[in-house]
Amino acid sequence: MSAPFHRVDGALFVEGVSASSLAKDHGTPLYAYSRAALEAAYRAYVDAGPVKVHVAVKANSNIGVLGLFAKLGAGFDIVSGGELRRVLAAKGRAQDVVFSGVGKTVSEMRMALEAGVKCFNVESIPELERLHDVAGQMGVTAPISLRVNPDVDPRTHPYISTGLKDNKFGVAFEDALTTYRAAAEMANLRVVGIDCHIGSQITTVDPYLDALDKVLDLVDKIEGAGIRIHHVDIGGGLGIDYGNGDVPPHPTEFVRTILTHIAKRPAPRSREVWLEPGRSLMGNAGILLTTVEYLKPGAAKNFCIVDAGMNDLARPSMYQAYHGIEAVEPLSGECRTWDVVGPVCESGCWIGRDRELAVSQGDVLAVRSAGAYGSTMASNYNTRARPAEVVVDGDKVHVVRERETIESLYAGEHLVE
């Protein structure tokens, strides 16, 4: 079987459909995902050993994409009430949902308790107290774990590092045992596990093992205090190859290393192991197709101006992130070094810098590794409609998000009389 993204006579294909035909039939900018790539990435985790995978909805919240994972039996990691609604619309089960995030509101807690989510990952003592009060008002018991901040450096971009002392996430490691004791005394809470998430786009396993050792040492102390821990959630964050030289562990290798490391430690009883991957499930399963509008050679820089902007793909502007960029058809123009930039009225609107491309006006480019934190971070800045999204399944194309219309962007706005 061919790889999900491959070339036939020089032309880029997504499974059995040419990228050129996708751009022609659905317009650009366009997000295109491979069902085979999504499913293969999921199986790479679950086939490696006894782990429960909760898909990080923030990485790609399209209900068409989430629905594919729901069919495979995945759980989901959410950080808002809106994401819970998306999971349920995608036919995911509330009892497979983990609710993370530092700013849960009362209404979100009520929504999640009414739906019956599997676990709340609590990130502060005030949140613990609020959840206890809300659950008590509703006459229910909330299942909780504490997200513990182990102060481990994941060696990634500072904006996506989440496990250090100066990050906003989680309960401080030195406060965790006291907080677990307090939680165990709250009648409307039920302690079920422990959670840890140290960051994103992590390309080595060592930071995970460092964090895991600290968490498991803490588990011993918590259970020594008579509080049962049923699961250990080590979060997500495993990186992908963006084509810039990063070589992260394969998910199967990663899971087996984690499980082997846990097995080395004596434990009085077995515990479930949970994961919350996002980027490594969806990142390399999607591309962003964009059309070259103008070529603008200059004395200092050559600009390839495309119809996708920082509002469509924020990662380059926000994180100075690298994405591979290639023409979907065989090379058509003179090869030059181009900055691939978008139409948004900001100097920060760029997709790729100093790229060797042979392109002509009207060509379609594919921005690789755009399946995670692509469409989900898109905005309407400059009153630009967000792209359509499609899932390619063999030779079939499913439109899982229609392109927005300009009129829809101001439909809820009103003139002042």
Catalytic machinery residues:
345
Give every strand in the sheet of 5-8, ordered side by side. 5-8, 11-14, 17-18
Q: From CA 27, how far away is CA 324, in angstroms rounded?
A: 21
Classify 202 as helix, strand or coil.
strand
Do you find a cis peptide bond into 29, omega within 30 degrees of 0? yes
Measured in degrees and rounded to the nearest 5, phi and psi for residue 406 equal -60, -40
Backbone phi, then psi, for 378, in 5-degree steps? -70, 155
| Token pair of 325 as six digits | 């960029």
From the number of C-beta atoms within 10 Å of its C-beta (0-12, 13-18, 19+), residue 320 rates as exposed
List of residues 6+ apart from 29 with CB closer than 8 A: 288, 289, 290, 307, 308, 312, 387
Q: Which residue has the tokens 């990142």?
A: 283
Alpha-carbon distance of 340 to 350, in angstroms, equals: 6
Task: Report residue 109 as tokens.
Answer: 């807690």
